[in-house]
Amino acid sequence: MYQNTKNPMATVSLCSVCARQLTGTPPNVDQSWKCSVCFGIMDPEYINGVANAVKAALDSNQYDSQSFVLALNVPVSVMLREAIFAHLRKAGDVENKGSLESVPFKTRMVDAYIGKLKAITGLRPTLNSLLTLTITFANVEFNVADSRFLLKHFGTDFVPNRKLKRYEQLKPLETNFTKVRISNLLSKITSDIASDYNWVSPTEPCTYSFTFERAPLFIASRYCKYSRSLPQSPWTASEEIPKIEGNSVSEKIAAVLKNELKCDSTRFIACGREDVDVRMLGNGRPFVVQCINPHLTQKLTGKNLSGTLKSLEEIINADKDISLGCNLKVVTADEVEALKVDQEEKRKCYTAYCYSTEAIDNDKLSTLSSLTPLEIIQKTPVRVLKRRSLLERKRTIFLMESLKVDDYHFLLRLETQAGTYVKEFVHGDFGRTRPSLAELIGLSCKADVDILELDVEYVDMQWPPS
């Protein structure tokens, strides 16, 4: 036993690895998981078991990476004990003849695991791989005792002070025992504080879990939509009506990429959206699909890239309801931000086939083009009030062109500021849009004008980036 000289009752029990590396003395536990410092995490047999479990998971998850970055998460009690043990060692309370006595525990741990993982999995450890292996070791049996120790010596530096919310103060003490909070206290530990720590061996081995995570891929293009019953994202007209799986632009495109790259999930990001009954024509609406944790990425590198993208394009374009307005392109996360920036500064062009219940005066219809640019004020439309805040928005109509079809029908071409509610501009939305098209062409208050069919012709944005 390596006794604390200030408290003979406190002992530090070490496994063979920690004894050799930290003190240079024989081990004093019969099972490695009873080690008071590493909790058995450094035991070669334990490491071998973890590495074999990782290999089995890799074989079943089909990652095509040749390398990996290793991230290790240890129990919070291990972090605390390492810092305390270092003070005991400096004070001479334990032997200082270990082969690695000055090397941090995390460094010793990484060195022990990385070699075994490389040997068993065949993957090359590196600092810049797109695949990250995170192994988390868990043991919470000392959380309460360690929390009381820290409360005794650090008081309000450890628990919330009286100025914080009352509900947080009422939480169990051990909820404060987190890595972030402990990290802020480690530098404040002194030799006197360390000598007061009660070293108790674990009563059970650490559990472990691991995850693989690959950096996301971003694949961009523009989509055209030809159906008037296809939403951009999963949608239903009523909460009582279930959504139809796969019946949206985002699902149709993302499903192709997910199947090809074996992603865990995807996220569809577009420059605005059209209503379910509105077609998206021209060269399409800009979008990007974020492929989260893709398992197969080698096909998007080097000489494989163009062939893979072409194959994906052919699959997507085979759908009768949608097509791509340009080639697919792999973009960066920084480039994706351009899709989200200055949304309201972008312009969009529309063509609307309109109907009026009152005969149309062609002279007034022909004056529309002279009224632009036209600033309008729109309250949040009635049809979206349940999911949008009630606001007044100023929007600009940059261009209006019209063509009379007959006394009650006409075509309307608009170029508007992004975010303009075009349908509401035409019919007025019970006076919530001012002025409305109905007012501009001089219809009486009893007349109604509405859009029968609406198409988005163009979204003014350079996308994908050159």
Phi, psi of 70 (to 5 degrees): -100, 130
The per-residue pLDDT for 8 is: 32
Which tokens is 173 given?
């003490």
| Reduced 3-state DSSP string for the chain | CEEECCEEEEEECCCHHHHHHHHCCCCCCCCHHHCCCCCCCCCHHHHHHHHHHHHHHHHHHCCCCCEEEEEEECCHHHHHHHHHHHHHHHCCCCCCCCCCCCCCHHHHHHHHHHHHHHHHHCCEECCCCCEEEEEEEECCCCHHHHHHHHHHHHHHHCCCCCCCCHHHHCCCHHHHCCHHHHHHHHCCCCHHHHHCCCCCCCCCCCEEEEEEEECCEEEEEEEEECCCCCCCCCCCCCCCCCCCCCCCHHHHHHHHHHHHHCCCEEEEEECCCCCCCCEEEEEEEEEEEEEECCCCCHHHCCCHHHHHHHHHHHHHHCCCCEEECCCCEEECHHHHHHHHCCHHHCEEEEEEEEEECCCCCHHHHHCHHHHCCEEEEEECCHHHCCCCCCCEEEEEEEEEEEEEEECCEEEEEEEEECCCCHHHHHHCCCCCEECCHHHHCCCCCCCCEEEEEEEEEEECCCCCCC
The pLDDT confidence band at residue 155, using thresholds 50, 70 and 90, is: confident
* Res 1 pLDDT > 50: no
pTM, two decimal places: 0.83
* Res 165 pLDDT > 90: no
| CA dihedral over 317, 321, 323, 329, signed as positive or negative | negative
pLDDT in tens, 175-222: 889 999 999 899 899 989 998 999 999 999 999 999 999 999 999 999
Q: How many CB atoms lie within 10 A of CB 290?
A: 19
The per-residue pLDDT for 246 is: 78
pLDDT in tens, 419-457: 999 999 999 999 999 999 999 998 888 889 999 999 999
Q: How many CB atoms lie within 10 A of CB 194?
A: 22
* Res 135 pLDDT > 90: yes
Cα distance between the two ends of the chain: 68
The pLDDT confidence band at residue 77, using thresholds 50, 70 and 90, is: very high
Q: Which residue out of 64, 196, 275, 450 is catalytically annotated?
A: 275
Domain ranges of the chain: 2-63+78-100+139-207, 216-340, 343-459
Q: List, in sequence order, every residue forming a beta bridge with 322; answer none if it has no partner.
A: 225
Architecture of domain 343-459: 2-Layer Sandwich (3.30)
The pLDDT confidence band at residue 94, using thresholds 50, 70 and 90, is: low
Query: Closest by alpha carbon to 175, among 187, 159, 162, 191?
Result: 159
The stretch 150-171 carries a mean pLDDT of: 72
* Res 387 pLDDT > 90: no
The stretch 100-128 carries a mean pLDDT of: 92
Answer whether CATH 3.30.70.2510 is correct for domain 216-340. yes
Beta strand pairing status for 217-225 and 279-292? antiparallel
Apex 399 CA angle, 383 and 231, nearest 5: 35
| 41 vs 156 pLDDT, higher one | 41
The stretch 57-66 carries a mean pLDDT of: 91
Distance of CA 247 to the CA centre of its chain: 24
The per-residue pLDDT for 161 is: 66
Q: Do domains 216-340 and 343-459 have the same CATH topology?
A: yes
Taking a C-beta distance cutoff of 8 angstroms, is the pair 438, 427 a contact? yes
Question: Left, alpha or beta for 156 (phi > 0: left; psi -120 to 50: alpha)?
Answer: alpha
Taking a C-beta distance cutoff of 8 angstroms, is the pair 286, 339 a contact? yes
The pLDDT confidence band at residue 383, using thresholds 50, 70 and 90, is: confident
pLDDT in tens, 231-270: 999 876 556 666 777 789 999 999 999 999 999 999 999 9
Share of the chain above pLDDT 90, in %: 74
Q: How many CB atoms lie within 10 A of CB 457?
A: 16
Mean residue pLDDT across the chain: 90
- Within 8 A by CB and 6+ apart from 350, the residues are 412, 413, 414, 415, 416, 422, 454, 455, 456, 457
The stretch 129-145 carries a mean pLDDT of: 96
275 annotated active-site: yes
Please give the single-letter amino acid code of residue 323.
S
